């Protein structure tokens, strides 16, 4: 499975899409709202992707809930994670029940269309960051850990692996790394005790299958953004935390990656720092540049294969199950309370 995850143009594959998917370095495809018209079309598109890809590919999507949910019509409206605690009357046990149910529901619906991964959950604290905001479960580590662990257990019970983001924490910088280069000037001790303990604890619980680092610079630790930093990815994530799962780069098209250089340089820097797979989104020319810049005979990465989804029912079969009916009832009760 190759180290590049890219996107495709629209609701069906173009000849250019098919040519890119046939490259041996392509190991993943990420879907966006522009790739979705209805359920039938989505199923056909994913079948086309699987057919066109030379190798097995991971198919992913950002389907967190709230404002970050790529498929709407025909899919359940998963709430923003940041709304669940308040909606559950600040009862943590109730919030955990909602989180587990919604984690299962989100994952089960994606899996029913042969999607391997939703890049979830967000493990950032709800601090000063507008781009994180209500994507975060909570502003404090302890309730966040309790709610996120329940959400991940729901995902796992459906058959989907979990990817925590954005390591070591994006919630304490104001700038949006999609359009700027955020800098978090806190000490390592502050970051470790607050943001990073969330990732550490969930990893100790065996719940993190993947991690996506932040396009944020933490100058007290390293001058490189976390996703391009051997200090963060090797010294802390791999060695100190003993994380053994997949490290995904965040999108190399984001402004937070731009100062590294062109797309070839960004991909090379991320892979050299320790990323297992790099994401190149919304820029087909950049995807070509990255593909052309890397050796085409890179060895397969065995970590990536561990994220392939478990066998699952298609949507019609899923919709007939008691678990699905029960989850929809819980979702309805959540919105109606």
DSSP notation for 179-210: TS--B----HHHHIIIIIHHHHHHHHTT--SE
269-312 pLDDT, tens per residue?
999 999 999 999 999 999 999 999 998 888 889 999 999 998 89
Active site residue 250: yes
pLDDT averaged over every residue in the chain: 94
Catalytic pick among 16, 178, 292, 314: 178
DSSP assigned state of 248: B
Count Cβ neighbours within 10 Å for each residue of 264-280 and write b for 16 or more, e otherwise.
bbbbbbbbebbbbbbbb
Q: Is the pLDDT of residue 180 over 60?
A: yes
Q: Is the pLDDT of residue 332 over 70?
A: yes
pLDDT computed for residue 85 by the predictor: 93
Decide: residue 158, CB within 10 A, 0-12 exposed, 13-18 middle, 19+ buried: buried
Q: Is the pLDDT of residue 212 over 80?
A: yes
8 A C-beta contact, residue 110 and residue 103: no
* Tokens 């995807």 belong to residue: 287
220-242 pLDDT, tens per residue?
999 999 999 999 999 999 999 99
CA distances, 89 to each of 92, 98, 156, 244, 292 (Å): 9, 12, 26, 37, 53
135-164 pLDDT, tens per residue?
999 999 999 999 999 999 999 999 999 999
Sign of CA dihedral 6, 21, 268, 165: positive
Active site residue 134: no
pLDDT computed for residue 69 by the predictor: 96
pLDDT computed for residue 3 by the predictor: 96
pLDDT computed for residue 253 by the predictor: 82
Q: Is the pLDDT of residue 176 over 90?
A: no
- Specify the pTM: 0.96
Catalytic pick among 17, 184, 250, 276: 250
Tokens of 106: 């989100």
């Amino acid at each position: 499975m190759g180290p590049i995850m890219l996107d495709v143009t629209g609701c069906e594959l173009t000849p250019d899409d098919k040519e890119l998917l046939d490259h041996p370095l392509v190991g993943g495809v990420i879907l966006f709202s522009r790739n979705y018209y209805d359920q039938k079309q989505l199923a056909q598109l994913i079948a086309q992707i699987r057919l066109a890809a030379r190798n097995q590919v991971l198919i992913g999507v950002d389907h967190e809930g709230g404002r970050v949910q790529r498929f709407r019509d025909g899919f359940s409206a998963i709430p923003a994670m940041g709304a669940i605690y308040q909606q559950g009357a600040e009862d943590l046990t109730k919030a955990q029940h909602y989180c587990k149910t919604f984690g299962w529901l989100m994952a089960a619906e994606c899996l029913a269309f042969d999607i391997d991964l939703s890049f979830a959950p967000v493990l950032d604290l709800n601090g000063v960051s507008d781009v994180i905001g209500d994507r975060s479960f909570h502003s404090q580590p302890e309730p966040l850990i309790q709610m996120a662990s329940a959400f991940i257990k729901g995902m796992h019970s459906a058959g989907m692996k979990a990817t925590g983001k954005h390591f070591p924490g994006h919630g304490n910088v104001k700038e949006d790394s999609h359009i700027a280069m955020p800098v978090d000037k806190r000490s390592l001790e502050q970051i470790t005790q607050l943001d990073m303990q969330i990732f550490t604890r969930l990893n100790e619980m065996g719940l993190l299958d993947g991690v996506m680092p932040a396009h944020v610079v933490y100058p007290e630790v390293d001058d490189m953004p976390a996703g391009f930093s051997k200090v963060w990815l090797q010294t802390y994530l791999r060695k100190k935390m003993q994380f053994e799962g997949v490290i995904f780069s965040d999108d190399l098209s984001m402004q937070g990656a731009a100062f590294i250089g062109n797309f070839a340089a960004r991909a090379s820097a991320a892979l050299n720092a320790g990323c297992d797979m790099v994401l190149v989104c919304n820029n087909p020319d950049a995807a070509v540049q990255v593909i052309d810049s890397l050796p085409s005979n890179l060895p397969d990465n065995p970590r990536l294969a561990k994220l392939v989804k478990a066998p699952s029912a298609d949507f019609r079969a899923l919709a007939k199950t008691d678990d699905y009916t029960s989850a929809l009832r819980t979702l309805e009760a959540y919105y109606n309370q």
